[in-house]
Chain A
Amino acid sequence: MADRDDKDLSGAAKMNRRGLLKCMAWTGTGVVWTLSGGVPRTLGLIGGAAAAEAPQGALTFVQISDSHIGFHLPPNPDPSATLTEAINKIKAMPTQPAFLVHTGDISHLSKEEQWDDADQIIKSANKQVFFLPGEHDVADADNGKAYLARYGKNTKGKGWYSFDHGGVHFIGLINVFEFQPGFKSAGLAKIGDEQLEWLEKDVKGLSASTPIVLMAHLPLWTIYEQWGWGTQDAGRALGYVKRFGSVTVLNGHIHQIIQKVEGNVTFHTADSTAFPQPAPGTAPAPGPMKEVPANELRKYLGIRTVNYVRGKGAPALIDSTLIA
């Protein structure tokens, strides 16, 4: 890290394997990554001047996820404070995003006061926000009625939607209402037939060169079945978008960044703004990593900037942690 200089950073696009390995040694210390077409590039330490050198695109937006307002246990007794830090980070971005997306688990327990707090904090970014529910947002007595009443205006079915911005087609999928129980097979979330039929029609008329962003709370590929980290019928959804030249899948739920490339489709889970969860299979169960010390917590929390450069196809993704 000590031998890193600005020259290295400006030449990041030409990074060789040795350079890449050197960068990999920095993970967890606040390095900004970009991912373009599946090839990771480093842009420098968070807060460093280099981070501001991210390519200026035709469209920039920010993904936040899993704010879990109402959680009150170790390692983060105050997720409102860390969400505020995330929003402050967005407000300080030199290139302001066109809008924000929140990929679910806004609240911890589907309570109005928890959503009130989250909305109040997020509102200070002064941006349009596209929300998706996490399973924690549909845990009210009426199975998601409260979420849909609050966040579901102008959406289809049980909260799904699509919109276009800057030539990119965005799709918000809901995979927290239906599931396959884990009695005889894996217990996994489902998108469900009605929504899948809608999706098929939604993308039918689009040109294959339209960049697609597919968002959902739970991962749209099976990361770890034993912990329910997957979506049983995601394959069908992906089948409808595989003809497109650039598909970017953005998910939350697992409170850590895991990425995968499959043809033209890149999959990315996001950090939480509240607490980390263990890497798949490294603990007896998922759930908050309560052993993380207070002074390390922010290394595990973060936001993601997505930057489309017109005519370049796949976007550049920059994941940055909350560490100052």
Chain B
Amino acid sequence: MLTTMNPASRRRRMTLLLGAVGVAALLAAALPELTAAGAAAVTAAASSATVDIDNFAFTPAALTVTAGTTVTWKNEDDSPHRIGDKNGTFKSAALDTDDSFSHTFAAPGEYPYICTIHPYMVGTIIVKPAGS
């Protein structure tokens, strides 16, 4: 189930969040996106994060984000993979090489997931409350 958030409330939360503890990880994830454009760009980039799929593994295997973040899985492997979480909250189609899948995490919590084609491939998205 894809969840979306009102853009205005997301902006508010992101502003709060920028001053908060635990933002370091988010910023680190966003660093490749950083340009001289400054803080505005950081804010936008901070609401998304990426998990790479390669060599039959998710990197990072555990990703911590804040509520409202859109996580994108990109399949860079030579084999197809398919994302499915333990509780059936989100599920991708089979991702061929270079395909990707995104899901926005509205609710805080831990989301363990697997590749449903290769169930030994596991990962977790940890969603912290916005502004925590």
Interface of B is mostly: loop
Q: Are B119 and A187 in contact (CB under 8 A)?
A: yes
Confirm or deny: B46 has a beta carbon within 8 angstroms of a beta carbon on chain A. Answer: no
Confirm or deny: A228 has a beta carbon within 8 angstroms of a beta carbon on chain B. Answer: yes
- B28-60 vs A, Cβ < 8 Å mask (1 yes, 0 no): 000000000000000000000000000111000
Q: Are B93 and A141 in contact (CB under 8 A)?
A: yes
Minimum C-beta distance from A74 to chain B (A):
8
Q: Are B118 and A228 in contact (CB under 8 A)?
A: yes
A187 and B96 CA atoms in complex are apart in Å by 21
CB-nearest residue of chain B relative to A283?
B55
A227 and B79 CA atoms in complex are apart in Å by 13
Cβ 8 A contact of A187, one of B55, B93, B118: B118
Cβ 8 A contact of B78, one of A139, A179, A180, A288: A288
Q: Which of B93, B96, B119 has the most CB of A within 10 A?
A: B119
Q: Are A109 and B94 in contact (CB under 8 A)?
A: yes
Given contacts A139-B117, A187-B119, A287-B77, 16 further A-B contacts (CB under 8 A): A109-B80, A110-B94, A135-B118, A136-B94, A139-B82, A179-B119, A180-B119, A182-B122, A187-B114, A187-B121, A189-B119, A227-B120, A228-B119, A228-B120, A285-B57, A288-B78
Q: Which residues of A contact B (CB under 8 A)?
A: 73, 108-110, 135-136, 139-141, 179-183, 186-189, 225-228, 284-288, 290
Q: Which residues of B contact A (CB under 8 A)?
A: 55-57, 77-80, 82, 86, 93-94, 96-97, 112, 114, 116-122
24 A-B pairs with C-beta separation under 8 A? A108-B80, A109-B80, A109-B96, A135-B118, A136-B80, A139-B82, A139-B117, A179-B116, A181-B114, A182-B114, A182-B122, A183-B122, A225-B120, A227-B120, A228-B118, A228-B119, A228-B120, A285-B57, A285-B77, A286-B56, A287-B55, A287-B77, A287-B78, A290-B78
